[in-house]
Amino acid sequence: MVTYCRSVLDDDPVFKALADPVRRLLLDLLFVQDGRSLGELDAAVNEHTEMTRFGVSKHLRQLENAGLVLTRKRGRTKHHYLNPVPIQQIHQRWIGKYTERAGIASVLLGMKEQLEQSPDEPKRPGHEPKDES
Amino acid sequence: MVTYCRSVLDDDPVFKALADPVRRLLLDLLFVQDGRSLGELDAAVNEHTEMTRFGVSKHLRQLENAGLVLTRKRGRTKHHYLNPVPIQQIHQRWIGKYTERAGIASVLLGMKEQLEQSPDEPKRPGHEPKDES
DNA sequence: TTGACATGTGACTAAATGGTCACCTATTGT
DNA sequence: ACAATAGGTGACCATTTAGTCACATGTCAA
């Protein structure tokens, strides 16, 4: 109880870390290949967008604080490793219940488009509010 | 292709919308009971944190823009409905691959704690960088 | 019609965030 | 020892964001 793993109970930093496209790109890069240094990641990021080493470093630190990236210093270079566990946690503890419901809701796959284009419909099959007039 | 549902290709607003705890609370509230009005949601939110009607309204609009909440105006009140589809989408298109990998990585369930407490270890089983000294 | 109710709007402030830079430390190789 | 390399720090600025408020609109009910 008391020694319960600290990061388990606040997934907020994880969600916050995932909110930035550059950070998601970094995770994608590490997903493809683990253990890269800051310099390597900086180079990879700059194939997509322009950003200095410092910006990349800051993003990596945020990922690290969220537990999504684990690091190991080896000589003068710092290697970064993807840790997918926090993502799995927010999935289990939060996202899962929504995807289950969505699985039901989106039986008709094209439904979403229709839903988003008719702003005067409640847009969920069945389960209409029971018109308490 | 051309008419591909607009919101499918940028999940960024969805991640951004999920990055705030109040907005996640709103989704949780709508998950429990759909179709609530702004006033009702305001009251429910204020059981957890203090916020004016305007703040809640703003958050709801962001959720709406991300497609996570669909609305219908009925008389003078606006009803809010949860739409889990965008969450399912980011799950399929992004989160899924990480949770799969995490499923492998966390075969030992208690592993994560250990990993986070030994900052001088690469912390992923196998797949060590090949010590190119 | 009048007043209470439910919500929307635009301006505004305070705080958080993303990004850069000048400078620093530590490590490596010669 | 020296220069080159990899990275960290703290200050700094611009932009975004969260939140509130005064005010306006539309709706219901007497």
**Is residue B5 pLDDT above 90, yes or no?**
no
pLDDT at B101: 77
B65 chain-A contacts, CB cut-off 8 A: none
Q: How far is residue A83's CA from residue B21's CA, in Å, rounded to a whole number?
A: 23
For range A48-52, the mean pLDDT? 96
**Six-digit token string for B122:** 């690469």
pLDDT at A8: 43
User: Is B63 within 8 Å of B17 (Cβ atoms)?
Assistant: yes
pLDDT at A100: 80
Question: Which residue type, as a one-letter code, is found at position A97?
Answer: K
- Report residue B82's pLDDT band, with 50, 70 and 90 as the boundaries: very high
Kindly report, residue by residue over A15-41, the tens digit of the pLDDT. 999 999 999 999 999 999 999 999 999
For range B114-120, the mean pLDDT? 43
> Which residue has better confidence, A3 or B88?
B88
Q: How far is residue B89's CA from residue A15's CA, in Å, rounded to a whole number?
A: 16
Q: How far is residue B127's CA from residue B108's CA, in Å, rounded to a whole number?
A: 17
Stretch(es) of chain B classified as CATH 1.10.10.10:
10-83
Kindly report, residue by residue over B32-45, the tens digit of the pLDDT. 999 999 999 999 99
Whether the beta carbon of A21 falls within 7 A of nucleic chain D: the reply is no
Residue with tokens 């993003």: A59
Q: Say yes or no for a CB contact (<8 Å) between B16 and A16.
A: no
A41 contacts: CB under 8 Å, gap ≥ 6: A26, A29, A30, A56, A60, A80
Percentage, residues of chain B above pLDDT 90 = 59
Architecture in CATH for domain B10-83? Orthogonal Bundle (1.10)
pLDDT at A118: 41
For range B52-77, the mean pLDDT? 97
**Is residue B4 pLDDT above 80, yes or no?**
no
Q: How far is residue A108's CA from residue A21's CA, in Å, rounded to a whole number?
A: 30
- Look over chain B and give the mean of its residue pLDDT values, rounded to a whole number: 79
Architecture in CATH for domain A7-84? Orthogonal Bundle (1.10)
B69 contacts: CB under 8 Å, gap ≥ 6: B26, B27, B30, B60, B63, B80, B81, B82, B83
**Is residue B9 pLDDT above 80, yes or no?**
no
Measure CA A69 to chain center: 12
CA distances from B47 to A24, A82, B38, B58, B101 (A): 33, 38, 14, 18, 38
Q: How far is residue A80's CA from residue A88's CA, in Å, rounded to a whole number?
A: 19
pLDDT at B106: 53
Kindly report, residue by residue over A63-107, the tens digit of the pLDDT. 999 999 999 999 999 999 999 999 999 998 888 888 887 666 555
- Report residue A10's pLDDT band, with 50, 70 and 90 as the boundaries: confident
Q: How far is residue B9's CA from residue B47's CA, in Å, rounded to a whole number?
A: 36
Chain A residues 21-80 within an 8 A CB cutoff of chain B? 21, 24, 27, 31, 34-35, 67, 70-74, 79
Stretch(es) of chain A classified as CATH 1.10.10.10:
7-84
pLDDT at B121: 40
Angle at B20 between CA B16 and CA B22, to 5 degrees: 140
Burial A42-66 (b: 16+ CB within 10 A, else e): bebbeeeeeeeeeebeebbebbbeb
What's the CA B34/C1' C3 distance, rounded, in angstroms?
A: 31
Residue with tokens 């709801």: B60
pLDDT at B96: 87
Residue with tokens 């997509």: A48
Instruction: Label residue A38 exposed, middle or buried (CB < 10 Å: 0-12, 13-18, 19+).
Output: middle
Please compute Rg for chain B using Cα positions: 20
